[in-house]
């Protein structure tokens, strides 16, 4: 059974710092991996999607990498801002077309 | 183009009652998946509907059932509500072969 783990569970950084969020998964037979952002009590906003054949994706200050063979992904956030404060969720899509999520990393960027 | 919509936004029910949540998929999408997110946890897959049939199901009891209509919209029904059913219920839609899911804003269910 696929299991997704995110480390750390919570992270607090000063504004302007670069940071890395980690995600690992146990079964490498995935179609893609997505990073989501979730504000308190709200739905999920898709940030980046990496297909299983890709190594990384970039959008603005965000860069996500995927190493399928080792079951790992990282989300790199450059020059963090207070508006980046949220919970970041990693999810992998299996061949059955359903997503397995990690428990998230709660990020606080301090002004 | 409207994205995925869900109704209602919030709902308060009593133990033992039944509830129906609704989801309209993004235009052009034919597949709807439902997820339950308990406080402090990641979303857990409940089931997925395609061509009006339940295509697959996660580890949830039969109290959780659903339906998909010819216009691809979907309902999630939960019978005999328990306190532990309190959660954010998320609907996601996708096009069957595209493998990217788009999420709605969720319905917050509180069971008292």
Look at A103 and B103 and tell me if their CB atoms are within 8 Å.
Answer: no
What's the CA gap between A23 and A51, in Å, rounded? 15
* CB nearest to B106's CB, from A32, A43, A98: A43
Mean pLDDT of chain A: 95
Q: How confident is the model at residue B2 (pLDDT cuts 50, 70, 90)?
A: confident
Q: Render pLDDT for B5-21 as a digit per residue (tens, 0 to 9).
A: 999 999 999 999 999 99
Min Cα–Cα distance to chain B from A103, Å: 4
Phi/psi at A56 (5° precision): -160, 165
Asked if residue A57 has pLDDT above 90, the reply is yes
Of A42, A45, A98, the CB nearest to B45: A98
- Judged by average pLDDT, the poorest of B2-6, B39-43, B47-51, B96-100 is B96-100
B99 band by pLDDT with thresholds 50, 70 and 90: confident
Cα-flanking dihedrals φ and ψ of residue A83, to 5°? -65, -10
- pLDDT at B98 (0 to 100): 64
Contact A36 B103 (CB under 8 A): yes
Query: Which is more confident, B1 or B64?
Result: B64
Interface list for B 47-66 with A (CB within 8 A)? 48, 55-56, 58
Between CA B106 and CA B6 the distance in angstroms is: 6
Q: Which residue of A has its CA nearest to B35?
A: A99
* A102 Cα to chain B: minimum distance (Å): 6
Rounded CA-CA distance A6/A41 in Å is 20
Looking at residue B1, what is its pLDDT? Answer: 65
What pLDDT shows up at residue B95? 86
DSSP B13-63: E-TT--EEEEEEPPTT--EEEEEEE-TTS--EEEEEEETTEEEEE-S--TT
């Amino acid at each position: 059974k696929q299991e997704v783990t995110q480390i750390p569970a919570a992270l607090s950084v000063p504004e302007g710092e670069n940071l890395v969020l980690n995600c690992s998964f146990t079964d490498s037979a995935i179609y893609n991996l997505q990073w989501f952002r979730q504000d308190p009590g709200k739905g999920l906003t898709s940030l980046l999607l990496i297909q299983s054949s890709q190594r990384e994706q970039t959008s603005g200050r965000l860069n996500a990498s995927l190493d399928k063979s080792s079951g790992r992904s990282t989300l790199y956030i450059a020059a963090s801002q207070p508006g980046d404060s949220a919970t970041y969720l990693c999810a992998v899509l299996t061949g059955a077309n359903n997503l397995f999520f990690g428990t998230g990393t709660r990020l606080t960027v301090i002004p | 183009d409207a994205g995925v919509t869900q109704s209602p936004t919030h709902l308060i029910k009593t133990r033992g009652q039944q509830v129906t949540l609704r989801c309209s998929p993004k235009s052009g999408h034919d597949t709807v998946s439902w997820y339950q997110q308990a406080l402090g946890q990641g979303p857990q897959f409940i089931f997925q509907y395609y061509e009006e049939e339940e295509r697959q199901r996660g580890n949830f009891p039969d109290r959780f059932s659903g339906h998909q209509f010819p216009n691809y919209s979907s309902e999630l029904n939960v019978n005999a509500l328990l306190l532990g059913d309190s959660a954010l219920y998320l609907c996601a839609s996708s096009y069957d072969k595209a493998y990217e899911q788009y999420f709605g804003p969720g319905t917050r269910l509180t069971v008292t």
